[in-house]
Amino acid sequence: AHEVKNPLGAIAGAVQVLQQQLPDDQGSREFLGMIADEVRRLDRIVRDYLQFARPRPPEPTAVELRPLVQRILAGMKTQPDWAVQVEWDWPEPDPPVLADAEQLAQVLHNLLNNAFEAMSGGGRLRLLGRMENLDGRPGFQLEMSDSGRGMDAATLARAFDPFFTTRARGSGLGLAIARDLVEGMGGRISVSSTPGAGTTVTLWLPRQEPV
pLDDT digits 0-9 by tens, 150-184:
999 999 999 999 888 877 666 678 899 899 999 99
Where do the domains of the chain lie?
Answer: 2-53, 63-206
Q: Is the pTM of this model over 0.85?
A: no
- CATH 3.30.450.40: does it fit domain 63-206? no
Phi first, then psi, for residue 95 (nearest 5°) are -75, 130
DSSP labels, 90-147: --SS-PPEEE-HHHHHHHHHHHHHHHHHHTTT-EEEEEEEEE--BTTB-EEEEEEEE-
Q: What's the DSSP call for residue 85? A: E
- For CA atoms 144, 147, 152, 158, the dihedral sign is negative
Distance CA 100, CA 162 (A): 22
Phi first, then psi, for residue 139 (nearest 5°) are -155, -175
pLDDT digits 0-9 by tens, 44-87:
777 776 667 777 889 999 999 999 999 999 888 777 667 899 99
